[in-house]
Structures are given as structure tokens and as C-alpha cells.
Amino acid sequence: MPDIFFEDFIIGEVKTFGSHEVTRDEIVTFAREFDPQPMHLDEAAGKASLLGALAASGWQTCAIMMRLICDGFLVRTAGMGSPGVTENKWLAPVFPGDVLTLRRTVLESRTSRSKPDMGLVTFRFELLKANKSPAMEQVCVLMVGRRNPGARLA
Amino acid sequence: MKFFDDIEVGAREVLGHHTFGEAEMIAFARAYDPQPFHVDPEAAKRSHFGALVASGWYTASLWMRYFVGFNVRTAEAQRARGERVPVVGPSPGFSNLHWLKPVYAGDTITYATEAREKTVSRSKSHWGILKAYNSGTNQYGDLVIDFESVVLLERRGS
């Protein structure tokens, strides 16, 4: 049962979660299935590309972020899905051996008039490399169940 | 892809169709998005979705699969005509991605892309910046996903 609800996300709060070491194998496996462009499959093609080396598909970087979000807090949260992503920036290529952590900032939270059992929380999610430089930044809204549905917020 | 110069704003291309299978939806979600309504059909029944739904990132990643496939076919046709294939640069990102409707097992999604805006890169004049509107539509004609992307594309004669 979830133990994190809408009310638990405090505007301005910043937290860091987890870590994920990216391997060459997972980059190539994901790319074969979803993004078979040469720079995601082959070292030489990666070196010749603007990315400078074999690098992960940007969609895989999104997926890795989602996994860190799930493991970090979402599987314990009364999550109800997401209406979408306002903005996603691929700031730096992700290479084999990169260790990524998730930084979460709560930007905004609001209840829904039409759906009193949930609220909408806007987050800035950043994937940071080991040296703390950001590889990806995303502003994303999650729908989260309320602890006391229908209660009025102060 | 076409050269930047040859792309017509407003032109829409259908990239392909994909019928979502329960096993592939669960496999993706186990790896990347293990929320109960993505990995567990019984838990999904009890959720507000009413049945297992695809991870939004699976729906998005499949758009990319069909986009790349379309570009590979376009490049093959260009080579067959003896034309040069333009260089496509990395994308800086996307914006306004909406997951508008859940995608259930058995749904067939039609993926498409539409050219929206062309800008010439000031700093690197051999690149053009193409903004595109990308979408996935289910078998009932409802949009399930849409987003705007930006891509760097080679200009002709550069």
C-alpha cells in the first residue's frame, strides 16, 4: 500500500535519489529495439557523430530517469499516472560507465476541482552525472492521490 | 530525412502503426517503469485505469522506433536515386509532451510527424533547426500522445 500522498510533496523541497550505472550492453540493447541510429549502436559511429562517442538514446535516458523516479519514491506513492512533460532537455550525452542520480525539486502542487481524490504535482527532475553535471532536465507533472480526498487545503 | 531546404512546413508523414501486446508492455515497464498499473494486470484492474496500461515512455520510445524506421526507408530511397543522404544532428530535447489517453493491450497506435517551423542556425550555418509536431493516434481516432521536437538537419549545398 502506498504511504506517500499528494500532501507529502512540499513546494521548494529538493531531494536526491538512487544511482544507476549505465552499461554499453543496455545502451545497445535499448537502441536496437527503439532507436537504432549508428551513434547508439557502434563505437566508431559514435566517435564520428556530434556526441563524440557511443552514447545512449535520449529516450533511454528518459526511461532510466523514470526507473530512478519509481525506485526513489513513486512505487511507494499513490501515483495515478502523468498528463505529460512540459519540457525535456538533453543537456549532455550519456556514455557507458556514467553513474546517474536523480535530483527532484517540487515546483508546484495543486488540487483538482473535477477530481477531488487527486492532486497535480509539478516536478523538476534532473539526471546528474558523478561529477554533478546535469545530463538531462525535465519538468513533469504527476497525478497523486490525496490522503484525505476532498479535504480543503489551507 | 529530407534536406532541411526540402522540408515543407505543414507536411505530415505517417511513420507506422503498432499494436501493443501485453507481454511487451510488461517487459518494458519491469525494466523502466514498474508502477502497478504497468506491470500487474490484477492491480491495474483495481486502479482508475481499469486494466493494464502501457508506460508512457514505452509509447514514446515506440514513436522513435517508427521515426527511425521511416528515416531508414527514406535514406534507402535517396541512395537508390543516387542522391546524398542529409546528416541529422542530435536533438536538444522536446516539449509539451502529453499523454492524452491510456494505451491498453490490443490498441493500435498510428505514429506521425509534421513539420511545424524551420529556423536557420545562426552559429552553424550548415545546420537548419526543424521543429516538428509528433503524435500517436489510437484505432478510435483519439490522440494518445503528442509532443514537439527539435532536430538539427543538414542544409543543402553546405
For residues A116 and B91, give the distance between their C-alpha atoms in angstroms, rounded to a whole number: 39
End-to-end CA distance of chain B: 16
> Phi and psi of B141, rounded to 5°?
90, 10
Considering only residues 133 to 152 of chain B, which have any Cβ-Cβ distance to chain A shorter than 8 Å?
Answer: 147
Name the B residues in 39-68 with CB < 8 Å from any A CB: 47-49, 53, 55-57, 60-62, 64-65, 68
The pLDDT-based confidence of B158 (bands split at 50, 70, 90) is low
Average pLDDT over residues A102-114: 94
**pTM over cut 0.80:** yes
d(CA B25, CA B39): 8
| Plot region of A117 (φ>0 → left; ψ -120 to 50 → alpha; else → beta) | alpha
Q: What is the pLDDT of residue B51?
A: 98
Closest by CA to B54, choosing from B23, B75, B83, B86, is B23
pLDDT of residue B157: 73
Enumerate the domain spans of chain B.
4-154
Q: Chain A closest CA to B95's CA: distance in Å?
A: 4
Determine the pLDDT at residue A154.
Answer: 44
Q: How many CB atoms lie within 10 A of CB B97?
A: 23
Collect all residues of chain B within an 8 Å Cβ-Cβ radius of residue A51: 90
List the domains of chain A with CATH numbers: 6-145 (3.10.129.10)
The answer to whether residue B1 scores a pLDDT higher than 90 is: no
**Does residue A153 surpass a pLDDT of 70?**
no
Average confidence score pLDDT of chain A: 95
Residue A145 reports pLDDT greater than 90: yes
Say yes or no to pLDDT of B125 above 90: no
In whole angstroms, what is the distance from residue A74 CA to residue A5 CA? 10
Q: Which residue has the higher pLDDT, B20 or A116?
A: B20
> Of residues A50 and A73, which shows the higher confidence score?
A73
Confidence of residue B90 (pLDDT cuts 50, 70, 90): confident
Enumerate the residues of chain B whose CB falls inside 8 A of the CB of residue A67.
31-34
Q: Give residue A152's pLDDT.
A: 58
Question: B4-154, which class in CATH?
Answer: alpha beta
pLDDT at A148 over 60: yes
Q: Which residues of B touch A50 (CB under 8 A)?
A: 89-90
pLDDT digits over A16-66, tens only? 999 999 999 999 999 999 999 999 999 999 999 889 999 999 999 999 999
DSSP assignment letter at B8: P
- One DSSP character per residue, A55-69 reads ---HHHHHHHHHHHH
pLDDT at site B92: 92
| CA gap B133, B131 in Å, rounded | 7
Per-residue confidence at A96, pLDDT binned at 50, 70, 90?
A: very high
- Average pLDDT over chain B reads 95
Q: Out of A39, A89, A93, whose CB is closest to B93?
A: A89
- Would the pLDDT of A6 be above 90? yes
pLDDT of residue B37: 97
Of the two residues B121 and A23, the one the predictor is more confident about is A23
**Region B86-102: what's the mean pLDDT?**
93
* Nearest chain B CA: its distance from A111 CA (Å): 17
Which parts of chain A fold into alpha helices (H)?
A: 24-34, 43-48, 58-72
- For residue B146, give the nearest of B100, B103, B102 by alpha carbon: B100
